[in-house]
Structure 1
């Protein structure tokens, strides 16, 4: 590249000469690239790079106030070293365990152009060299395959505008088979650890030519709707509502959704609870949480309690002192709290939960009870 053109979107090809800084957790790196005999500093979330590797970076030149011209990469494609000199530089960089400069030279001299293929797929051949045990050979190969997997994941997901930081997270979760797993089912990206928007996973699925009524898409759509509603405070959904919402979201018929929901339930990826009103569908973790909470509340409810005398009179005195009357549902909640070992108070915003809690606290303290509040929210936190 003959000149620095600040701000213009460019593609630069070259060989990594030196890695100045690298954060393996985020994929951010600062490194020098030899592009046609010119050395350029490249920065950005590009994943893992090592000296000797061939790179194609896409981005813009920017002028750093302290360090001068830098190429800010938006995307980076990395390939294996293209010749023996680059391979030697790569192996000498310390990127792989147990391989220093001297050992790297021996490997290149012994295996020639096949050395990286040997490391990746036939590592026991490395024991032909003195000082490399089978255990070391396996460790070298595992690290090489891990690095290749990270690069592959970063490059693959980068095509769909998923950052290197996110790609590294995905790789840590799914391991060396990340790209294969995504190709098999791109909708796994809607779950841990990325929680990608369904529409973005749909873009990858379309690239893989997955049909809109494909089982993978419909099942993922059901789980996505359940997770979305869990974020809105709903631990479950009525079956009919879940099926209809999913069909609307996927823009397909309800019959296909109904069939996949039954399969989802059979496979244990969702749970149902049947009541007189119908079936309610849960995500497994929320279903188990509901069961656990119910069991604990039941245990608490079995402890005997002696209700205080004349609760209604105490409520009336409190109303008189405060200058307003409680609604009947609030009085019911106060009575239950004063006469039960456990009570659950629910209600939407502005329904008087905090006022009710304040009344319960006042009566308990007036009767000489010791009160503790754990993680209160809203105005109750001040009390």
Structure 2
């Protein structure tokens, strides 16, 4: 039988505490989530005397949906009686204390693409207790990764699991996910990509999106359109130099790849970029000059036309031409 949340003996009648109270325990399971908002069941491990330790309480709040089941949490909030759903703990502040058990680690891994409940259960069964935490926190020796013992985990999937764990596994902050998914409208996969890159650059996710969002194009599966959507959501000005420069580089690479060229006329580059951004040709021209100064592109004149190209491609093309000419002598 479930233990009552309120300790009737300490208050005399089981009445609700009037002030903000602090609870510590483990998130057991979600009942419903919407972006980062959620309703979940919480196992109480530390509490004031009015609340029974060992009880299971329903918690509701704006970051509850961002936390994987099994996480150890410290909550601050108020107990309330909902007219339909009964006793609930309304979370005002949530501190994620990290993943502290193998069961919690397996639940966290459910966030990864390709890791379902069956695979998570296999991990817990094969590495009981805290063994799973030890496996995840210990870099494997060459060719000897314990994760590969688990049916359904390939070398590629093991690498994805380890990279995710090392970057955001134990330092996960639900406020970051609320910002990325709630404020910026990112998907879970996009949010995790941002968290990984932010961790790699040793910056906060908000700082990354506000100062260097187009660095996301370095990641697999990210191009300018996706990075630009995220940048605008994060507050990037439509005429910001960083946006214009990133767009021009994207257009240059895409048009050259589509048409099989290594260069694009300056006029065409500006026209395509203006069409993409619905912006000003003068401002795009200014961004192009900035890219030239940064040596990210180069401009050459051929047959009376100004051509813009990637410096590496230009040099590679010249080397090939020199080789062909030597071979025809």
Task: Between the two structures, name the one with larger relative contact order (CA 8 Å, sep ≥ 6).
Answer: 2
Q: Which has the larger radius of gyration?
A: 1
Normalised by the size of structure 2, how large is the TM-score? 0.48
Task: Report the TM-score, using the length of structure 1 for normalisation.
Answer: 0.42
